[in-house]
Amino acid sequence: MHETPLAPGSPVGLVGLGYYTLTVADLCSEAGHSVAFAVDDREGTDGDPSGAAYWMNIRGIPVLTATEFVERMRSDPVPLVATRVECAPDCAPEDEPFGRAGKWVRRVSGAGPLVHPVSLLAQVPPVDCPVRYAVFGFPGSGNMLAQNLIEGLYARRVEPVPPAFTMRAGLSEAFFHTIVSHLRARLASLLPTNVRFVPHDFGTMLVAVTCGESRAGVAFHVPSSRHLGLHRFPTHSRPTTAAADYFASADAPCVAVVRHPLEALLSQANKIARPVRAVFDGPHFLDNTASSFTDWHSHLLANRDRVCTVRYEDLHGRRIDELRRLAEWVGRPVSDAEAEALYDRYLNRNLPALVPTHFYRGGNDKWRTEFEPRDLQRVLARMPVEMFTAFGYDVPTEADLVPAPFVGTPKPVSIMHTALLEACEFYPVAGSHGIRVTSGDAALADALRAVFADPDLQALLATGQPHPAAEALRAAA
């Protein structure tokens, strides 16, 4: 992999003739790179023409045989861009087309590493997509309700997705599977029982690893370009200036959903365990989560004029004016009757107790019965009053607390959440752009740091750098 983007205007060679060849050639031109040649990396096809080769010749791009390719790279080497990148999820690195192309190049010519075409997307502006938007919400804030209401607004008018956006989505998804296959191979020595790749802050994802019945760890701020192919940017990200800049350049509206801070903390704790007392009494959850929420809130206030902020309580309370305000912001205006119909469809208050959709039935005052004075003191020590007053919430006091016994079905703490509850440190990964690892198991934390410190993996992650703003975000993480 190339650790730095291609120099502007530099000529390139294309490796591979297949589904994406013409698309990548167009992307190279759009990014200001001339295509010097293309070469087929399939075994036994030296001189065998293909459909892609025909179109390359039509465009005046010479298609070299393997022998000609070797001679060209010896006399006049150029950076090489892979075009055969499509692959199935979770395939082994040796079966992943991007990896196979690089192996072929090294074997036949000894030439340097390949560039994944997704790295070219950093050199071209985002494509406007009429069905694209971003939602930001701190975990536990009722994100799914807001997200589904917005989906309902967009579903009212079908608009075509531009082919250029679809092309970028395909390359972004192919690069994601490249990362997955290489990471799974590097994590195999840890004997993981589960590996999850979860969208995180803009331009990043988190990688959660479970090993056996008692060990788990998480790597945060792992570079990811997957958002380039999503029409809906996932929730739970911070509404950073970098994210707001990117989506503004893509003409995609940004929405933030907020909730009473204590109710949001309670909702998040309920996802970990019920009753929540064991979570609240742990050494880190309330302190760390309150601090993270404060940080999230500061980003929202810094970009408040660029984000439409809605309160979960207003959506849960079926406020027509708030849903119509949201609809205007995303360019999908509705009448009062249409807003009522959307609430009827997505706000199901009377679901049976066994239906696992707590976010649709969430109340607004459950924190009063679950928080104790010592919990409130820990949270308020880390949350400024603006966390409450900025969006019309009263600052809570001990007089608001009304303890009550737990009612419901208990839920045990998962292995992953146990690891995070016990973890107290975030260890930086040497040489990376802001990747941090945490685990309640020190040996596993060290092993994960070693995996992500691998220079080849870091070069691969850097190749997929999707947007300059994401680099700044990770540097500040």
Residue 447 sits at φ, ψ, to 5 deg, of -65, -40
In DSSP terms, which residues pair with 68 in a beta bridge? Answer: none
Residue 173 sits at φ, ψ, to 5 deg, of -65, -40
Look at residue 269 and tell me whether its pLDDT is greater than 60: yes
Q: Same structural domain for residues 149 and 195?
A: yes
Give the HSE-up count for residue 195: Cα atoms under 13 Å, Cβ half-sphere: 20
Q: Same structural domain for residues 100 and 176?
A: no
User: What are 52-110's pLDDT values in tens digits?
Assistant: 677 777 788 999 988 899 999 999 999 999 888 877 766 777 778 888 888 888 888 88
Those residues whose C-beta lies under 8 Å from the C-beta of residue 110, and which sit 6 or more positions away, are none
Cα 23 from chain centroid (whole Å): 24
Look at residue 12 and tell me whether its pLDDT is greater than 90: yes
Look at residue 417 and tell me whether its pLDDT is greater than 90: no
297 within domain boundaries: yes
Tokens of 428: 């930086």
> Taking Cα atoms as reference points, which of 347, 341, 336, 345 lies closest to residue 314?
347
Distances 359 to 256, 293, 351, 363 between C-alpha atoms, Å: 16, 19, 11, 9
Q: Same structural domain for residues 365 and 461?
A: yes
Cα-only R_g, the chain: 25
Q: Could you write out the DSSP letters of every residue in 334-382?
A: --HHHHHHHHHHH--TT--TTSS-HHHH--SSTHHHH--HHHHHHHHTT
Helical spans, DSSP H, in 371-424 = 373-380, 386-389, 415-422
Q: Could you write out the DSSP letters of every residue in 239-285?
A: --HHHHHHHHHTT--EEEEE--HHHHHHHHHHHH-BSSHHHHTSSSH
Q: Same structural domain for residues 153 and 272?
A: yes
Look at residue 253 and tell me whether its pLDDT is greater than 90: yes
User: What are 330-368's pLDDT values in tens digits?
Assistant: 999 999 999 999 999 888 655 555 444 444 445 568 899
5 within domain boundaries: no
The pLDDT-based confidence of 476 (bands split at 50, 70, 90) is very low
Domains held by the chain: number: 2
Average pLDDT score over residue span 255-259: 96
Distance CA 453, CA 447 (A): 10
pTM: 0.84
The pLDDT-based confidence of 5 (bands split at 50, 70, 90) is low
Q: Same structural domain for residues 55 and 150?
A: no
Those residues whose C-beta lies under 8 Å from the C-beta of residue 431, and which sit 6 or more positions away, are 453, 455, 458
Average pLDDT score over residue span 297-317: 95
Distance CA 454, CA 280 (A): 37
- Rounded to a whole number of angstroms, the distance between the first and last alpha carbons of the chain is 24
7 within domain boundaries: no
Q: Same structural domain for residues 95 and 170?
A: no
Range of the domain at 92: 12-123
388 within domain boundaries: yes
**Cα torsion 466, 255, 371, 407: sign:** negative
Tokens of 163: 């082919």
Look at residue 7 and tell me whether its pLDDT is greater than 80: no
Those residues whose C-beta lies under 8 Å from the C-beta of residue 429, and which sit 6 or more positions away, are 219, 435, 436, 437, 449, 452, 453
Q: What is the reported pLDDT for 280? A: 92
Average pLDDT score over residue span 275-298: 91
177 within domain boundaries: yes
Q: What is the reported pLDDT for 357? A: 44
Q: What is the reported pLDDT for 381? A: 96
Angle at 161 between CA 156 and CA 166, to 5 degrees: 145
Look at residue 418 and tell me whether its pLDDT is greater than 80: no
Domain final position from 105, 123, 141 = 123
Distance CA 477, CA 467 (A): 16
User: What are 175-210's pLDDT values in tens digits?
Assistant: 888 888 889 989 999 999 999 998 888 888 899 999
| Cα torsion through 186, 190, 196, 197, rounded to 10 | -30
6 within domain boundaries: no
Q: Same structural domain for residues 440 and 403?
A: yes
Q: Same structural domain for residues 78 and 113?
A: yes
* Block residue for tokens 């079966």: 95
User: What are 13-45's pLDDT values in tens digits?
Assistant: 999 887 788 889 988 998 889 999 999 887 655
271 within domain boundaries: yes
- Answer whether 38's CB lies under 8 Å from 61's CB: yes
Q: Across the chain, what does the average pLDDT equal?
A: 84
Long-range contacts of the stretch 275-283 (C-beta < 8 A, 24+): 275/370, 275/406, 275/408, 275/410, 276/370, 277/406, 278/413, 279/413, 279/421, 280/370, 280/371, 280/372, 280/375, 282/421, 282/422, 283/424
Q: Which of 47-56, 254-263, 288-297 has the lowest mean pLDDT?
A: 47-56
Domain final position from 101, 123, 145 = 123
Q: Same structural domain for residues 269 and 359?
A: yes
Domain final position from 123, 151, 169 = 123
Distance CA 384, CA 393 (A): 12
2 within domain boundaries: no
Q: What percent of the chain has pLDDT over 90?
A: 40
Identity of the amino acid at 163: P
Q: What is the reported pLDDT for 300? A: 97
CB atoms within 10 A of CB 49: 13
CATH number of the structural domain spanning residue 101: 3.40.50
Q: Same structural domain for residues 270 and 222?
A: yes
Range with the largest mean pLDDT of 84-98, 148-162, 222-236, 413-427: 148-162
The pLDDT-based confidence of 475 (bands split at 50, 70, 90) is very low
Average pLDDT score over residue span 143-153: 91
Q: Which of 3-12, 312-321, 390-399, 437-446 has the lowest mean pLDDT?
A: 3-12
- Answer whether 219's CB lies under 8 Å from 244's CB: no
Those residues whose C-beta lies under 8 Å from the C-beta of residue 310, and which sit 6 or more positions away, are 146, 255, 256, 257, 258, 322, 325, 326
Distance CA 6, CA 284 (A): 44
Q: What is the reported pLDDT for 235? A: 74
Q: Same structural domain for residues 93 and 147?
A: no
Q: Same structural domain for residues 282 and 346?
A: yes
Q: What is the reported pLDDT for 349? A: 54
Q: What is the reported pLDDT for 421? A: 62
Q: What is the reported pLDDT for 355? A: 46
